């Protein structure tokens, strides 16, 4: 049986988007309560009835959340222009070798705004 298993994480961070035009509100320093969803895909082990122990996802993700939480994202290597698109790619690069079957990264910055990346 093929399934997609996902787990949510939250962090607070500040950012400025230097690629936005002068005068755009997002070019100024501002913050968000981000939500990260990490999804893995694969076959359920019939003897255990699971794809992954959720703790395995947490073990890979929590060090990254701790790095970003209450930080200025622009100061993080690889996030000098921390759009949610770039953040999704950054998380993918950091997690792809640690989470076999990594399927999807979703970075949500507001209740209505998110980016979904599938490593393509």
Residues classed as catalytic: 26, 70, 109
Q: How many C-beta neighbours within 10 Å does residue 100 have? A: 10
**φ, ψ for residue 70, nearest 5 deg:** 55, 40
Strands (E) in 1-119, as ranges, are 2-15, 30-43, 71-72, 102-110, 113-117
User: DSSP letter at 78?
Assistant: T
């Amino acid at each position: 049986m093929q399934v997609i298993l996902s787990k949510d994480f939250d962090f607070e961070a500040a950012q400025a988007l230097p690629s936005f035009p002068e005068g755009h509100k997002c070019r100024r320093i501002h913050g968000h309560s981000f939500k990260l969803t990490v999804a893995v895909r694969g076959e359920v082990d019939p003897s255990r009835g699971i794809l992954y122990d959720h703790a395995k996802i947490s073990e890979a993700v929590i060090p990254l959340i701790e790095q970003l939480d209450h930080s200025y994202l622009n100061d993080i290597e690889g996030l000098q222009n921390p759009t949610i698109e770039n953040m999704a790619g950054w998380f993918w690069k950091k997690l792809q070798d640690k989470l076999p079957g990594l399927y999807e990264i979703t970075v949500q910055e507001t209740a209505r705004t998110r980016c979904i990346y599938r490593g393509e």
